[in-house]
């Protein structure tokens, strides 16, 4: 493989540039497309480097590098933006449409990894594993003088009500796992919407009756801050709140307040507003609490899921070049 940023010239037909290859783990194999092309990749790309690196590109690959209207307006050769993720909030899709630039994303690859991570957070918090581990390391077991001790409550999943926000493939898989645990999954009706049918539990009822709430929604103007203090105050059963979707879906300042005031019993988050989060980010300030687990946006990142993503990414590019595009937005 060539050094980062060094192009392999095979033809001038297509020029492919991957702006942030380090967003996939180094052990993940990214095969080269099965057509004549030039290829360049960079470990990461700063905003002021985007235009220069994509100047002659026909295909851009990005995971988290933003492409805005100003940048896109300077990229006359660009025909496809292949997003190495499902979320598309880093791309100005209106500008792409205006310039005739196609945008593809990755679908269905995380159907195991994200739900499994979701339940890892749920189980750890529901059974207070972090708090008990800290106690063991602090010598509390020896101090107890018996075979076990009861410093923290432990709750089963059997019989618990799981509010699921987002009814796509991830939400459906979470519901399937929940049923295997003997839980009752509730798909929340979209906030502010009624008449969505029998699949959905009214938004207010979901908030009021759930023992655990898990978020699996995209971040849009409509969903930003969809859980804030009014929603927390409606959570009568002091649930756990899990977010493995996107930072910004939950108001982080209000989350801290909800924890401080014991409105909710704990939080398991894999995402923050701004990633990596600043040290003064509200979630970073509470990350050391035993009823909070903050992981670094890795719910999607099992080796198996990453390899499926990489394979689908190249499939998307090959299908586009072949004139049979798929997974277009």
d(CA 55, CA 89): 22
Catalytic residue among 37, 53, 161, 297: 297
Catalytic residue among 275, 289, 304, 318: 275
Q: How many CB atoms lie within 10 A of CB 238?
A: 12
d(CA 218, CA 78): 26
Q: What is the CA radius of gyration of the chain?
A: 22
Q: In sequence order, what are the beta bridge partners of 165? A: 215
* 31 is annotated as an active-site residue: no
Q: In sequence order, what are the beta bridge partners of 293? A: 268
* 190 is annotated as an active-site residue: no
Catalytic residue among 37, 38, 246, 252: 246
Cα separations in angstroms, 161 against 187, 207, 217: 11, 11, 19
Written in H, E and C, the secondary structure of 58-94 is: CEEEECCCCECHHHHCCCCCCCEEEECCCCCCCECHH
* 21 is annotated as an active-site residue: no
Residue pointed to by tokens 């590019």:
317
List, in order, residues 6 or more apart from 147 with CB less than 8 Å away.
none
Q: Is 11 exposed, middle or buried (0-12, 13-18, 19+ CB in 10 A)?
A: exposed
Cite the beta strand spans of the chain per DSSP E.
8-9, 15-18, 38-41, 59-62, 80-83, 102-104, 161-165, 184-188, 200-201, 212-215, 240-243, 266-269, 292-294
The crossing angle, in degrees rounded to 10, of helices 129-137 and 113-126 is 60
Kindly report whether the peptide bond that precedes residue 117 is cis, defined as omega within 30 degrees of 0. no
Q: Which residues are catalytic?
A: 246, 275, 297
């Amino acid at each position: 493989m060539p050094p980062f940023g060094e192009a392999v010239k095979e033809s001038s037909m297509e020029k492919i540039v991957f702006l942030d290859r380090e967003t996939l783990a180094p052990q993940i194999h990214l095969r080269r497309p099965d057509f004549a092309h030039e290829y360049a990749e960079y470990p990461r790309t700063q905003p002021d480097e985007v235009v220069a690196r994509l100047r002659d590109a026909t295909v851009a690959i990005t995971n988290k590098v933003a492409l805005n209207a100003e940048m896109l307006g300077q990229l006359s050769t660009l025909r496809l933006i292949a997003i190495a993720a499902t979320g598309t909030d880093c791309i100005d899709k209106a500008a792409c449409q205006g310039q005739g630039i196609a945008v593809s994303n990755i679908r269905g690859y995380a159907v195991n990894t994200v739900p499994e991570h979701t339940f890892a957070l749920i189980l750890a918090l529901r059974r207070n594993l972090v708090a008990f581990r800290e106690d063991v390391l602090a010598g509390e077991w020896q101090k107890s003088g018996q075979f076990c001790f009861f410093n923290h409550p432990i709750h089963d999943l059997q019989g618990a009500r799981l509010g699921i926000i987002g009814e796509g493939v991830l939400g459906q898989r979470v519901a399937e796992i929940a049923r295997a645990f003997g839980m009752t999954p509730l798909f929340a009706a979209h906030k502010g919407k009624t008449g969505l049918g029998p699949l959905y539990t009214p938004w207010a009822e979901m908030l009021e009756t759930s023992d655990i709430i898990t978020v699996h929604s995209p971040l849009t103007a409509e969903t930003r801050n969809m859980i804030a203090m009014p929603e927390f105050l409606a959570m009568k059963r002091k649930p756990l709140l899990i977010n493995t979707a996107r930072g910004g879906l939950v108001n982080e300042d209000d989350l801290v307040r909800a924890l401080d005031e014991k409105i909710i019993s704990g939080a398991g988050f894999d995402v923050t507003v701004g990633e990596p989060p600043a040290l003064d980010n509200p979630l970073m300030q509470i990350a050391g609490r035993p009823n909070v687990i903050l992981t670094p946006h890795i719910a999607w990142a099992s080796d198996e899921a990453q390899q499926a993503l990489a394979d689908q990414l190249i499939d998307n590019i090959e299908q586009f070049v072949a004139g049979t595009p798929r997974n277009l937005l």
